[in-house]
Structure 1
Amino acid sequence: MSGFHVVRSGDAARRLAPVVLLHGSGGSEESLRRFGLGVAAGRPCILVRGRVPWEEGFAFFRRNPDRTLDSADLTARCVEFCGLLRRLAPAGDRPPLLVGYSNGAVMAAAAILAAPALSSGAVLLRPLSPRPAERFPALGGYPVLLLGGATDARRHPVDTPALAEQFRQAGARVTARVLPAGHGLDRTGADRRLTREWLGRRP
């Protein structure tokens, strides 16, 4: 579908907005399957594989050798991903919810800024701003949950709060937490619990 490898899971018959799961660098569509099914609150899940071969798996966009974002590649790959989102929400259906981790969280954030109408909310796990030096376009109440890690070696401590502020200034409805965790998902289950609760409040 749109050049992406996509796997559907869960109960599609309930007509709830699906959850689109976007893995981190070096992962695959299977990386977030267990997490996704655990937080989806009865929604169908759509597991997407990034199109960029990366390390032992895939990514949604490339990084530069110093691990900074390759902004040109992110922009081009975001166009591709938005094309996928258009095909995932048939006319009349509610747009999907996005759940992205790390590289996938950056792609989800980029898609929100490029085309907010293609999704109805997003959970960004260990996120990073796709446009750190720019003012975001108006987002008119778009709901977003950001979950950072206090000891994340791949992020600066201000990354999650700074991204949250960018979303707030754009008019998004933001919930942001920095958990006592590293870059990986919190072993105490806080990421799972907070994501499930947040998704459960979405219509």
Structure 2
Amino acid sequence: MKHFFHKSKETNEVFVLLHGTGGRETDLLPVAGRIDPALSVLGIRGDVGENGQYRYFKRQPDGSMDEESLKEKTKPLLDFLFEAAITHQFEQKEIHLIGYSNGANMAVSLLLHKPEFFRSAMLLHPSHPLKSFDTAELNDLDIFITAGAKDQLVLPGEAVQLKKHLRHLGARVSLHMTDYGHELRNSEFTQAAKWWSENIKTV
């Protein structure tokens, strides 16, 4: 998979960045820098093409989520993360996911399929994928979700339902709602940094 890796000299913990539709592996690098510049960063480019844009899984012809494609593409990404951990010398539970939109939905699938591999996740404007997936144990996971009250691509109720779903599976979940749409806003990064400082950061 197309990716980049920046190794930290301060900690073995790592942010894994999953961009939105049409993005690149470096898109969320400024976000990671705002949250905690001490961590290593692994940015991964989606390998599904859609009209010249990169995604992590396919959409249905009507634009709705293709959950079969999401599940199908989850395993090779997990395999890649396992290999990357060996190559770049980081461990399970040292991975913190940051995903936006399509990348946030893939992050949800990663968490549900392999929760023991991750320590936390920041899900920026996710939908509520894999609603019927009710077997994962997320007891050690901290999750921060953002959504836009005026989002016309992903209804804000999706984030609310996702929060309930993840809490039902044992995760500690916080939700920040903006007054805007699907675009990322500065207030989201401010709140994410605050959440990180209060719940995750140890140094």
The question of a shared fold, defined as TM-score above 0.5 by the shorter chain, is answered with: yes
Distance 1:151 1:43, change over 3 A: same
Q: For 1:8, what is the secondary structure of its paired residue?
A: strand
Distance (Å, rounded) in 2 between the aligned partners of 1:111 and 1:199: 20
Partner residue of 2:95?
96
CA drift of 1:97 comes to 0.3
CA drift of 1:134 comes to 4.2
Deviations 1:7-57 (A, max 9, x none): 123x52212411011000111112222222222342121111001112343
Query: Percent same amino acid at aligned positions?
Result: 26
Partner residue of 1:163?
162
For this pair of structures, how many residues does the alignment match? 197
Amino acid at match of 2:161: A
Distance 1:63 1:172, change over 3 A: same
Amino acid at match of 2:43: L
Please say if residues 176 and 188 of structure 2, whose CA atoms lie closer than 8 Å, have aligned partners that are also in contact. Answer: no
2:26 pairs with 1:27: no
Please say if residues 138 and 170 of structure 1, whose CA atoms lie closer than 8 Å, have aligned partners that are also in contact. Answer: yes
Distance (Å, rounded) in 2 between the aligned partners of 1:41 and 1:136: 34
Alignment of 1:141-156 (within 5 A): 141-156=140-155
Distance (Å, rounded) in 2 between the aligned partners of 1:32 and 1:128: 18
Distance (Å, rounded) in 1 between the aligned partners of 2:30 and 2:120: 20
**Which residue of 75, 79, 101 maps to 2:75?**
79
Distance (Å, rounded) in 1 between the aligned partners of 2:131 and 2:63: 15
- Compute the RMSD of aligned alpha carbons: 1.8
**Which residue of 24, 43, 47 maps to 2:43?**
47
Q: For 2:9, what is the secondary structure of its paired residue?
A: helix
**Which residue of 34, 52, 59 maps to 1:63?**
59
Please say if residues 168 and 174 of structure 1, whose CA atoms lie closer than 8 Å, have aligned partners that are also in contact. Answer: yes
Distance 1:22 1:75, change over 3 A: same
Q: For 1:66, what is the secondary structure of its paired residue?
A: coil
Please say if residues 85 and 119 of structure 1, whose CA atoms lie closer than 8 Å, have aligned partners that are also in contact. Answer: no
Distance (Å, rounded) in 2 between the aligned partners of 1:139 and 1:120: 10
Unmatched 5+ residue regions in structure 2? none
After the TM superposition, which segments of 4 or more aligned residues of structure 1 sit over 4 Å from their partners?
Answer: none
Distance (Å, rounded) in 2 between the aligned partners of 1:161 and 1:137: 19
Deviations 1:119-142 (A, max 9, x none): 111000001122124435221131
Q: For 1:15, what is the secondary structure of its paired residue?
A: coil
Q: For 2:182, what is the secondary structure of its paired residue?
A: coil
Deviations 1:76-120 (A, max 9, x none): 110011112212334773431000000000000000000011111
Please say if residues 141 and 171 of structure 2, whose CA atoms lie closer than 8 Å, have aligned partners that are also in contact. Answer: yes
Distance 1:60 1:22, change over 3 A: same
2:150 pairs with 1:179: no
Distance 1:38 1:165, change over 3 A: same
Q: Taking structure 2 as the reference length, what is the TM-score of the superposition? A: 0.89
CA drift of 1:6 comes to 1.1
Q: For 1:158, what is the secondary structure of its paired residue?
A: helix
